[in-house]
């Protein structure tokens, strides 16, 4: 696609000055309206939440929440990852996910997880490619979409791998 034409893809952080961009994306991408806590978590996660720019247009995002486990270790929960429909298939989603995975390995974070609707095979396959595995099924996770169940996809890294 776009043979011979390299369009630059770049990532930029989310700040209170441009958080509206993330809101616009979420409105367009997801049938869910996220509340203030979502955006507070996203902003708090720092480098783990990113906007993706296709030349100068904001077209996708990854938003994470950092969670403290018992014992003090940190794990990353990917709240949303999405790219605007016209800009899919250009490697932007991969770029966003890789960014977070790299950060995790750099910061020695061993667990990353997310929820995905059980029938969303494309998504499941996408994540499996990056080493995620289905670790749990939650019944009736969603309230008003069908099917209401979701998988929990998790990627564990061993400390030795992380410290390469």
Partner 1 sequence: MGASLPPKEANLFKLIVKSYETKQYKKGLKAADAILKKFPDHGETLSMKGLTLNCMDRKSEAYELVRLGLKNDVKSHVCWHVYGLLYRSDREYREAIKCYRNALRIDPDNIEILRDLSLLQAQMRDLTGFVETRQQLLTLKPNHRMNWIGFAVANHLCSNVAKAVEILEAYEGTLEDDYPPDNERCEHGEMLLYKSEIEDQPVAHGGIGIHRVFNSLLFRHIIHVREKYGLFKEELFLLQGIKSVVLISLLEECGFLERALEELHKKEPKIVDKLTSKEQEVSLLVKLGRLEEGANHYKALLAMNPDDYRYYEGLQKCFGLYSENGKYSSDEIDRLDALYKLLAEQFTWSSAVKRIPLDFLQGDKFCAAAANYIKPLLTKGVPSLFSDLSPLYDQPGKADILEQLILELEHSISGDGRYPDRTEKEPPSTLLWILFFLAQHYDRRGQYDIALSKIDEAVQHTPTVIDLYSVKSRILKHAGDLVAAASLADEARCMDLADRYINSESVNRMLQADQVALAEKIAVLFTKDGDQHNNLHDMQCMWYELASGESYFRQGDLGRALKKFLAVEKHYADITEDQFDFHSYCFRKMTLRAYVDMLRFQDRLHSHAYFHKAAAGAIRCYLKLYDSPLNSPAEVEDNTSKATQKKKMKKQRKAERAKKEAEEKNEGSSASGTSKSGRRHIKPVDPDPYGEKLLKTDDPLSEATKYLKLLQKNSPDSLETHLLSFEVNMRKQKILLAFQAVKQLLRLDADNPDSHCCLIKFFHKVSSMPTPVSDAEKLVWSVLEAERPSISQLQEKTLSEANKIFLGNHEDSLMHRAAVAEMLYTLDPTKKLEAVKIIEDSSNKVVPTNGALGSVMEWKLKDCIAVHKLLDNVLIDTDAALRWKVRCAEYFPYSIYFEGSRSSAVNNSLNNLDTETPLNGGANGPDIIQSGNAFTSNGKLEAFKNLKI
Binding site for partner 1 (CB under 8 A): 1-5, 7, 16-18, 20-21, 23-36, 38, 54-59, 65, 78-90, 93-94, 114-117, 119-120, 122-123, 125-126, 129, 141-145, 150
Q: Which one, 3 or 159, has the nearer CB to partner 1?
A: 3
Q: Which one, 16 or 70, has the nearer CB to partner 1?
A: 16
Q: What is the smallest separation between the CB atom of 14 and partner 1, expressed in angstroms? A: 12
In whole angstroms, how far apart are CA 8 and each of 16, 55, 63, 99, 100? 25, 5, 21, 16, 19
Please say whether the beta carbons of 110 and 73 come within 8 A.
yes
SS3 call for 78: strand
Q: What is the smallest separation between the CB atom of 160 and partner 1, expressed in angstroms? A: 28
Residue in this structure with the two tokens 């441009």, named with its chain if needed: 18
Choosing from 87, 99, 113, 115, the catalytic residue is 115
Q: Examine the residue annotation and report whether 54 is marked as an active-site residue of this protein.
A: no
Q: What is the smallest separation between the CB atom of 161 and partner 1, expressed in angstroms? A: 23
Q: Examine the residue annotation and report whether 99 is marked as an active-site residue of this protein.
A: no
Cβ density class 119-147: b for 16+ within 10 Å, e for less = eeeebbebbeeeebeeeeeeeebeeeeee
Q: Which one, 69 or 106, has the nearer CB to partner 1?
A: 69
Rounded Cα gap, residues 112 and 98, in angstroms: 12
Strands (E), 84-164: 111-117, 133-138, 150-156
Rounded Cα gap, residues 25 and 121, in angstroms: 22
Q: What is the smallest separation between the CB atom of 24 and partner 1, expressed in angstroms? A: 5
Choosing from 39, 53, 54, 77, the catalytic residue is 77
Q: Which one, 126 or 162, has the nearer CB to partner 1?
A: 126
* Residues noted as catalytic: 77, 115
């Amino acid at each position: 696609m776009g043979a011979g034409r390299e369009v630059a893809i770049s990532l930029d952080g989310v700040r209170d000055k441009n958080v509206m961009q993330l809101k616009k994306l979420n409105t367009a991408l997801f049938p869910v309206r996220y509340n203030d806590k979502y955006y507070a978590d996203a902003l708090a996660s720092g480098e783990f939440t990113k906007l993706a720019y296709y030349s100068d247009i904001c077209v996708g995002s990854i938003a994470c929440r950092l969670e403290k486990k018992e014992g003090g270790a940190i794990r990353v929960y990917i709240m949303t990852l999405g790219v605007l429909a016209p800009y899919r298939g250009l490697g932007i989603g991969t770029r966003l996910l890789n960014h977070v995975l790299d950060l995790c390995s750099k910061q020695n974070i061993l667990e990353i997880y997310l929820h995905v609707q059980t029938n969303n095979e494309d998504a499941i396959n996408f994540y499996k490619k990056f080493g995620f595995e289905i670790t749990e099924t939650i019944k009736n996770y969603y309230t008003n979409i069908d099917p209401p169940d979701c998988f929990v996809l998790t990627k564990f890294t061993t400390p030795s791998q992380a410290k390469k």
